Structures are given as structure tokens and as C-alpha cells.
Amino acid sequence: MTEEEKQPRKTKETVNEFINSAKHMANDLTSEIARTAERIYEEAKSAKRQIVVSVRLDDDSASKVDQLVEAGICSSRSEAVALLTKSGIQARQTLFAEIEAKIREIQRIKDEIRQAADRVNTEGQVV
């Protein structure tokens, strides 16, 4: 068999290898998506939610919430919003740490002001 005759066979083999590789990658990706969905579902089920908060969502956000419910990852819109809120907070831990530090600083300054006002009041001066 000449090189020219072998070329179509090599091309066909290369295409078949590519297709098989793509199938394996698709299966791996599907498995990973399923594992992620299961993890998210378990997190959503185990979340202890006690506080009711009303929110207004834009159409795109509401659609994403509905997708979580439709996919069976969450059993309700409430559960989906709670899951997304928790995930968003976890993703922004650095920001929340900074906010928490600033709130403590503000509270410290307020306490100092109250103490100064109390000192002035106990010394008989008008505030």
C-alpha cells in the first residue's frame, strides 16, 4: 500500500481517536457536573435557615434561581436563594473580614464617645 493510499486510513483513525477522546472528556465533564450538583444539593439540604428575608430579583437572577429548582438541586426558590447567598458570602470572605474589622473599629469609637459623654455628665457639666 502506498503512502497516498494510507493517508485516508490515517485520517480516519485520527478522527476516530478525536471522537473517542471527546466522548471521554464529555463523560468526565458530565460526572464532574453531577458530583458538583450533588455537593450543592447536600449543602442546600443541610443549611439551617431561620430568618425570612424578602428580596426582589431581576429577570436573569430569577431565571438562574429557577434553574436550580428545575434541575432538582434545590427544592424551592427560597432554598436556591439561600444557597446562592451562602456561596456568595463564602466567595467574598476577604471583603467580609475587612467589613467586620471596620465595624469593630466604628463600635470602639462609639464606645469612646459614650464614655467621654458619661464622664462629662458625672462631672456635672452639661452635654
Question: What are the residue ranges spanned by the domains of the chain?
Answer: 1-49+57-91, 94-127
76 near 68, Cβ under 8 Å? no
Report the pLDDT averaged over residues 36-59: 81
Residue type at 23 in one-letter notation: K
Q: Is the pTM of this model over 0.85?
A: no
pLDDT over threshold 70, residue 1: no
Cell of 119: 464622664
Got the DSSP string for 22-66?
HHHHHHHHHHHHHHHHHHHHHHHHH------------HHHHHHHH
- The pLDDT tens digits of the residues spanning 88-121 come to 999 999 999 999 999 999 999 999 999 999 888 7
Pick the more confident residue, 124 or 14.
14
